[in-house]
Amino acid sequence: GESVGLHLPTLSVQEGDNSIINCAYSNSASDYFIWYKQESGKGPQFIIDIRSNMDKRQGQRVTVLLNKTVKHLSLQIAATQPGDSAVYFCAERRNSGNTPLVFGKGTRLSVIA
Amino acid sequence: NAGVTQTPKFQVLKTGQSMTLQCAQDMNHEYMSWYRQDPGMGLRLIHYSVGAGITDQGEVPNGYNVSRSTTEDFPLRLLSAAPSQTSVYFCASKRGEGEQYFGPGTRLTVT
């Protein structure tokens, strides 16, 4: 069975509602942020990214908001669907260039049909 | 493109055994990395490589070795497996500042 994701914060959302998943980051020098989605038994998949010179970026049904003042990142999913049920991770790059991503602990999104 | 591939998908080891987790990518990405994922811990970086012949330690490197003799391959070696290394292991690759792609993972159990 799936052991990844135990003890994670969980967000339960009704199908069709909007979801907001939050992430706090610690390093004010971080210049690049990514949201990943991980379904059960699979590797993380890229959703959307944002650079530190932006405060908002939109994709298909998803929006990422960046508040550098309070070092906060959020992922908004519009019209949440059952297929959105997964664990969502934010990641930051703490220095410019080809440096490793640092991942948060993740949030489990559970969509109630 | 196959993307990032990992083998094996599942593995059970006894304490003290050694093994190599394989990772390959066919996207000509210069950057590759290994993460382990444990319940409630998110993804933690083990080792990474910014190009062939170059490797560096991540957050949790102890007990693991890597090498990068080619651009395509980045194997992760466990020299003497311990129960604390029971985890799901993910390999990832990217080019420059672009999106990082993950493999499907290897679920390792050490008894």
**Per-residue model confidence as pLDDT tens digits over A29-56:** 898 999 999 999 899 999 999 999 999 9
Q: Interface of chain B against chain A, CB under 8 Å? A: 4, 30-31, 33, 35, 37-45, 48, 50, 58, 88, 90, 92, 96-97, 99-105
Q: What is the pLDDT of residue B34?
A: 98
pLDDT at B46: 97
Output the pLDDT for position A5. 42
For the segment B16-50, what is each residue's pLDDT rounded down to a tens digit?
999 999 999 999 999 999 999 998 778 999 999 99
pLDDT score of A96: 65
C-alpha span between B56 and A102 (Å, rounded): 15
Which residue, A25, A49, A48, A45, is CA-closest to A37?
A45
CB-based contact B100 A7, cutoff 8 Å: no
Average pLDDT over residues A90-108: 84
Instruction: Give the number of residues written for chain B.
Output: 111
Residue numbers in B near A103 (CB within 8 A): 35, 42-44
